[in-house]
Structure 1
Amino acid sequence: MKIIKITSHVLSYDLPEPLGYSQQYYHKRTAHLVEVETDEGITGWGECFGAGTIALGNKAIVEKVIQPMVLGMNPMDRDAIWHRIYNLLRDHGQKGMPMQSLSGVDIALWDIAGKVAGLPLHQLIGGKHRDRVQAYGYGMMLRPESVDSLVARFQDEAASIKSMGFKATKMKVGLGPKDDVRLIEAVRKGVGDDYKFMVDANHAYTTSDAFYVGRAMEEFDPYWFEEPVAPEDYDGYRELRQSLKVNISGGEVEFSRWGWRALLEARGLDIAQPEVCALGGISEYLRVLALCHAHFTPVVNHVWGSAVAVATNLHLLAAMPPLPGGLFPWEPMLEFDTTDNKFRDDLLTEPLNIQGQVASNDGFVAIPDGPGLGITPDRDFIRHFDIGNA
């Protein structure tokens, strides 16, 4: 079997209303799918993290840089392929877009391997530790509106996500320390007492501002404080973790085992959040997961993208060993973006129906059991939204 073609599909559509986080507002939903074709007619699908023009840049890396390196290689030799690509790109990008691009290709190779073996991804990895995973509903994103309007909307949206059946929810912050505390208070009011919610700053703060927000949020008892400071600021992470009561989480923009080794050795995380579509794909994710567990750091995968990313993470979460184990072990959760996303809801010929499962299964989602990722993207849908050749 040989790789004969790799295609990037960059999909986009106009959102019904702008969404934002601490760094920017965006008006379009984007997804970057990678299709790897073989001479035996077996095709694998993957996904690259990175939206908008980043996705278009990654398309060029996938098709013009990575594809020539691997044409004619056996797709089953995925570890050899991974190291060939990484070693040839090492001088040009050990983090960021080259790794995002490699991630999509690697995920597609694992999908092919599962189809060749007739096994779902979680069995290729080593088997399921759980038959279902609990999902948390991600919402309360920033919009260009007044603080008072955001406060009211956050409270209502938090209550709505709870009513959908999700057992936890996550909000954005990034307006500034004092206004962000108002948003956090609103979400606690929206969900009531004894309901888990998380706060995501997308590295909005200096360390001193992160301390202000972290201490002020204590009375509202969030479960974790995500990416409070810049991802390069390992000392800031460590100082916050040592001093704040809330769990400190992060890592979605860390890359490869080498980047994760430095982050974990800094002892700045209570909860690790690797992004499989960015850090180097499934091959590298498994090495990063082993590093996290070697440092006794529990993992909740970062998930942002299409149904391809969601399906990939369902397999990975099912196959994640319990840490530390026991009769009632700590369990990971599936991150699920509840905002408008056609690429999550309508991409597949048989949709995952995450929200329907959450509503009917007490907040839990089943693991796909078909070969590879266990999904089939709808090619007509892809053609309709593909802007890659525009």
Structure 2
Amino acid sequence: MKITSIKSHVLRYELEKELGYSQQYYKHRTAHLVEVQTDEGITGWGECFGPGNIALANKFIVEKVIQPLVIGEDPLNKEYIWQKVYNLLRDSGQKGMPIQALSGVDIALWDILGKKTNTPLYQLVGGKCNNEVPVYGYGMMLQKKSVDELIALFKEESKQIKSKNFKAMKMKVGLGPNQDLKLVRAVRDSVGKDFKLMVDANHAYNLKDALYIGKGLDELDIYWFEEPVAPEDYDGYRELKQKISTSIAGGEAEFTKYGWNKLISNKCIDIAQPEVCGLGGITEYLKVAALAQANFIPVINHVWGSAVSIAVNLHLLTAQPDMPGGLFPSKSMLEFDTTEKNIFITDLPNEEFSILDQVKNNNGFASVTDNVGIGINPDEDFIKEFEVNE
């Protein structure tokens, strides 16, 4: 079997309202799918992490840089292809967009392997460790409103997320230390003290402000404090981890086993959040997960994107053993977007695929299907309707 072409599809549509996080606000939702075709008629699908115009830049890398390197290769030789591409890009892209682009291609190769062998992805990466996976909802995105207006919105949204049977929820912060703590206190009061609540700063703070907020979060029994400082600030992560009791989570902006080795060896995090669509794909994700396990760090994947990303992560978490392993081991959770209806999740797949229905009907859990490969195939008419041709 040979790779005959690699196509890149950037999808976009306008949101009903502008949403944001600490670094920016956005009015459009985007997704970047990768389609790898073979001479046996088997097509694999993957996804690249990266919103907005970043997706357009990654599209160029996929089609104009990576594709010429792998045309004619056997798609089942995933490790060889990964190393070939990485080594040839090494001088220009050890992190960032080149690795995001490689991630989508690599995921598509695993999908091809599953279809070629008539095997679901979870069986290819180790088999079933979990019959079902707990799901947490992330919402409460920032908007250009006053703190008091956001408090009212966040309190209502948090109640809605809880009512849908999610096992936990995550909110955004990044307005400023005092305003952020007011927001978190309001949501904590709304959902009650016994419900898991996580706080995501998207690296909004310097160390001093992160310490101030972290000590406030300690009093509110927050499950984790995500990306409190810049991803390059290993010293800041380590000091914050030492000085507050709330677990420090991070890693969505880290790439490959090399970057993850530094993050872990510097004792920066309590919870690892690898982004499979960004760090190098499934081939590299498995090595990062092994690094985390070897250091007794729980893995709770970062998930952002379309139904393709969610399907891939559901397989990976199905095959993931409880960590760190002991009398009361922790079980990973699947992250799921609960903001306004995301048609790249609900309407993209040809197959029946509804995490929301599963969460509602199964008391907060979702289960993988035995469909081969990643388990879903995008509707090509849907792709044509929302594809950006720039």
Q: Offset of 1:104 from its aligned partner?
A: 0.1
How do 1:1-390 and structure 2 match up within 5 A?
A: 1-326=1-326, 328-340=328-340, 341-387=342-388, 389-390=389-390
Q: CA deviation at 1:327?
A: 5.8
Per-residue CA deviation, residues 43-81 of structure 1 (Å, 9 max, x unaligned), is 000000001100000000000000000000000011100
Over aligned residue pairs, what C-alpha RMSD do you find?
Answer: 0.8
The DSSP-based 3-state class of the residue aligned with 1:211 is helix
SS in 1 for 2:303: coil
Confirm or deny: 8 A CA contact 1:251 1:273 kept in the other structure: yes
Aligned length: 389
1: CA distance, partners of 2:352 / 2:14: 21
Partner SS, residue 322 of structure 1: coil
SS of residue paired to 2:193: coil
1:120-175 CA distance string (max 9 Å, x none): 00101110100110000100000111111001111111111000110100000000
Residue identity matched to 1:252: E
Deviates more, 1:321-330 or 1:15-24: 321-330
Which string of whole-angstrom CA distances, capped at 9 and with x for unpartnered residues, describes residues 9-35 of structure 1?
000000010110000000000000000
- The secondary structure found in structure 2 opposite 1:296 is coil
Task: State the Cα distance separating 1:40 from its structure 2 match.
Answer: 0.5
Is the contact made by 2:193 and 2:221 (CA closer than 8 Å) also made in structure 1?
A: no
Deviation at 1:367, TM superposition (A): 1.0
* Paired residue secondary structure (1:220): coil
CA contact (8 A) 1:314 1:368 kept: no
Question: 372-381 or 301-310: which moved more?
Answer: 372-381
Aligned mates of 1:52, 1:10 — CA distance in 2: 9
105-114 vs 187-196, which moves further:
187-196
Moved more, 143-152 or 29-38: 143-152
How far apart, CA to CA, are the structure 2 residues paired with 1:238 and 1:218?
Answer: 17
CA contact (8 A) 2:114 2:121 kept: yes
SS in 1 for 2:225: strand
CA deviation map 1:81-125 (0-9, x unaligned): 000000000000100000000000000000000000110001011
TM-score normalised by length of structure 2: 0.99
Name the stretch that deviates more: 366-375 or 1-10: 366-375
Greater Cα shift, 218-227 or 320-329: 320-329
Moved more, 327-336 or 21-30: 327-336
Per mean C-alpha deviation after superposition, the further-off stretch among 341-350 and 95-104 is 341-350
Among the aligned pairs, what percent are the same residue?
63
Q: Is the 8 A contact 2:297 2:324 kept in 1?
A: no
Aligned-partner SS, 2:254: coil
Secondary structure in 1 aligned to 2:278?
A: helix
Q: Aligned partners of 1:257 and 1:12: how far apart in 2? A: 31
Q: Measure the CA separation in 2 of the matches of 1:193 and 1:323.
A: 25
Asked if the contact 1:292/1:298 (under 8 Å) is kept, the reply is yes
Aligned equivalents of 2:353, 2:383: Cα separation in 1: 17
In 1, the alpha carbon distance for the partners of 2:213 and 2:337 equals 24
| Structure 1: stretches of 5+ with no match in the other structure | none
The structural deviation recorded for 1:368 is: 2.4
TM-score (normalised: structure 1): 0.99
Aligned equivalents of 1:239, 1:350: Cα separation in 2: 46
Residue type at the aligned position of 1:75: P
SS in 2 for 1:276: coil
